[in-house]
Structure 1
């Protein structure tokens, strides 16, 4: 049974995911502009709808962490089982968000384990949970794990076991952009580009190969070097980068899920201050 605290964490995670979905323009990723394009309208609406289906599973993960009280193999196995059930529910609601569920699930559980943790502390707590293998996971390799093994990329599992370094980078980018006077949407776009600039995205490796991955990383760095989303030159570079990725059909989905994780961690001081 979940508590109010568990539900609050779950709703904050869903809000972080829908906040990521609301950003535009997101290079190669679904965003609100898709509502004007008949061919992708269902995709974006479906993603917004199915994001809400994550809430019960995320609340259950928080409850499991609170009940267990420490990052044990038992907790890791329980989170894995809840995650697989949640994937099924999300699939019935329209699908998507598998990477975000992995990231948000571990971070929500970490936040429940350590109610006073902030920022990088939450990511480090998630690392301790992810260090244990999920013994209930299917034996067949996933596409992500196959691609990671082929190219030597860390993948989603490696990202978690390293303490979500790209979530931490995104948090730093948010703080830097805000201090430079960027609006909230612009700061979030800069954080997304920061993740894209270095992440070894297994989805991109699968669809575009190593050369495509490097092309995306260089494009993201180019926008940031031009001044980021809150400058005129940076916005022009972002528009060109966005058009390029959409034309190529390349989608850096891994970066989107990690940005959602960063937005969740960023929101923790606010939601914990709410009576």
Structure 2
């Protein structure tokens, strides 16, 4: 059974995913402009509802980590089992968020293991969890793992085993944009584009191949080079990039899930204060 502290972590993760969904304009990704899903093929209202279906599983992951107390093979196996069950629940609620669940699940477990950890310390703890194999994982390869093998891309597993480098990059981008005075939505868009600029997104590789992936990475870098999204030139470049991805029907979904992970880790100082109040 999860505690109120575990549920607080889970709700913080769901909130981070919801913030990512509400952010606009997100090139190639569902946002409030695309409520009827004509472009991204993902209904935003449905994604909001299915995001809430992650909460019980994420709370169970936090509880498992808290109960185990260290990143053991047994914890890794339990997290994998909970994650697969949660995927099923989310599918019943409308689907989506598989990449976000992968990232948020390990980060929530890491935050439960190390309640005082912040920033890169959380991703380092997550790396220690993922270092163990998930012996209960299905033997049949997933689409993502097949694409990773075909193109030599890190994929979701490689990202986690490396300690979520793109979550760390997004956190650095958030800090840089905020220190430059960018309003929060623009700081988050800059963080998203920073992830897009280098991530080997297996979803993009599947739909658009290596050329498409390089095209998206270059487009993200172009927006940042134009002055970031807080400047008129950067916003103009963002509009061009957004129109281009929508016209091509290319969706860099992996970047959205990792931004949600970064927003969760970024929120942990506030979450820690709330958990401390619950503990007293």
* TM range, smaller chain: over 0.9
Paired with 1:13 and 1:51, the residues of 2 have a C-alpha distance of 10
1:231 aligns with 2:231: yes
Q: Show CA shifts across 1:142-184 (max 9, x none).
A: 0000000010000000000000000000000000000011111
Give the aligned length: 275
Question: Any idea what SS the aligned residue of 2:118 has?
Answer: coil
Once the two structures are TM-superposed, the CA of residue 37 in structure 1 deviates from its matched residue by: 6.2
Superposition CA RMSD, Å = 1.2
Q: More deviation in 115-124 or 42-51? A: 42-51
1:167 equivalent in structure 2: 167
1:188 equivalent in structure 2: 188
Question: Any idea what SS the aligned residue of 2:136 has?
Answer: coil
TM-score (norm 1): 0.98
Please list every run of 5 or more consecutive structure 1 residues that lacks an aligned counterpart in the other structure.
Answer: none
**CA separation of 1:39 and 1:167: change in aligned 2, threshold 3 A:** closer
TM-score (norm 2): 0.96
Once the two structures are TM-superposed, the CA of residue 190 in structure 1 deviates from its matched residue by: 0.2
1:252 equivalent in structure 2: 252
Please list every run of 5 or more consecutive structure 2 residues that lacks an aligned counterpart in the other structure.
Answer: none
Matches within 5 A, 1:10-21: 10-21=10-21
- Contact map agreement 1:35 1:41 (CA 8 A) in 2: no
Once the two structures are TM-superposed, the CA of residue 41 in structure 1 deviates from its matched residue by: 8.6
Paired with 2:136 and 2:38, the residues of 1 have a C-alpha distance of 41
Paired with 2:131 and 2:42, the residues of 1 have a C-alpha distance of 37
Q: Show CA shifts across 1:68-92 (max 9, x none).
A: 0000000000000000110010001
Paired with 1:67 and 1:188, the residues of 2 have a C-alpha distance of 34
Question: Any idea what SS the aligned residue of 2:229 has?
Answer: coil
Question: Any idea what SS the aligned residue of 1:177 has?
Answer: helix
Paired with 1:35 and 1:253, the residues of 2 have a C-alpha distance of 17
